[in-house]
Amino acid sequence: MDAVSYWPLLGVLVVVVGFALRANPLLVVTLAGVATGLAAALPFTQILRYLGEGFTHTRTLSLILVLPLAVIGLLERNGLREQAGNWIGRFKRISAGRLLALYLLAREVTAALGLTSLGGHPQMVRPLLAPMAEGAAGKAFGPLSHEEQQRLRAMAAATDNVGLFFGEDIFVAFGAVMLMHSFLTENGIDVEPLHIAFWGIPTALCALLIHGSRVLYLDRQLAKGWLRRPR
């Protein structure tokens, strides 16, 4: 039986060290690929060929990621965040906690239907959700302290994470559901993907209740001034 060489895993170490040193991610990944190829005793020309093929196959990915960020950045520069905060301030009965609770429910429901791209930190939380939460809180409790602003932004980001993470587990075509189905089938356990997704509903409901109570409790913290600290 041939011994397995673990030297190609050297590339993982390069990635860890490079990211720990906060080096350029593109440079780190390139060096990791070269280190892995050399450790696997591949010719340098073949390593370059693999790197070139990888770049060719994924060159459209950067365009897909960069274009929305550029559009969002342009909108932010022209007052998107300010307008979102001013708009939500027109509603008398809405609060920061209620707004985040409604977003949590909407995020879970849409993720359960497979619409995972409707939210997200760069396209929803930063330009819209967080400013709207700050606007609602500012209208109810006056100017916010730095600690209150940071807490609202963190809670907005956490709300998006919780809604997506537990909502997508209910979607039958989600990768994790199919992975569990494949693993169970390979081990002689016949379970339908729909049945696996169905049992994600109790967990999603618990996440909705637990995190929903957290964001609603945030209103009480703001009202009592518990998040304010002397500067």
Q: Tell me: the pLDDT tens digits for 128-156?
A: 999 999 999 988 888 888 889 999 999 99
Cβ atoms of residues 95 and 145 within 8 Å: no
Mean pLDDT of the chain: 84
Query: Are residues 53 and 120 both part of a single domain?
Result: no
Residue scoring higher pLDDT (75 or 17): 17
Confidence band, pLDDT 50/70/90 cuts, at residue 1: very low
Cβ atoms of residues 32 and 11 within 8 Å: yes
Q: What is the pLDDT of residue 63?
A: 59
49, 74, 99 - which closes a domain: 74
Query: Are residues 111 and 157 both part of a single domain?
Result: yes
Model pTM above 0.85: no
Residue range 38-65: mean pLDDT, rounded: 76
User: Is 56 within the bounds of a domain?
Assistant: yes
Residue range 191-200: mean pLDDT, rounded: 87
Cβ atoms of residues 156 and 120 within 8 Å: no
User: Is 230 within the bounds of a domain?
Assistant: no
User: Is 229 within the bounds of a domain?
Assistant: no
Query: Are residues 180 and 97 both part of a single domain?
Result: yes
For the chain, the farthest-separated pair of C-alpha atoms sits apart, in whole angstroms, at 73
Query: Are residues 156 and 130 both part of a single domain?
Result: yes
- Output 194-199 pairs: Cβ under 8 A, ≥24 positions apart: 197/169, 197/170, 197/171, 197/172, 198/170
Q: What is the pLDDT of residue 173?
A: 79
Residue range 115-125: mean pLDDT, rounded: 87
Cβ atoms within 10 Å of 106's Cβ, excluding its own = 14
Handedness of CA 103, 107, 108, 109 (dihedral sign): positive
Domain containing 90: what range? 80-224
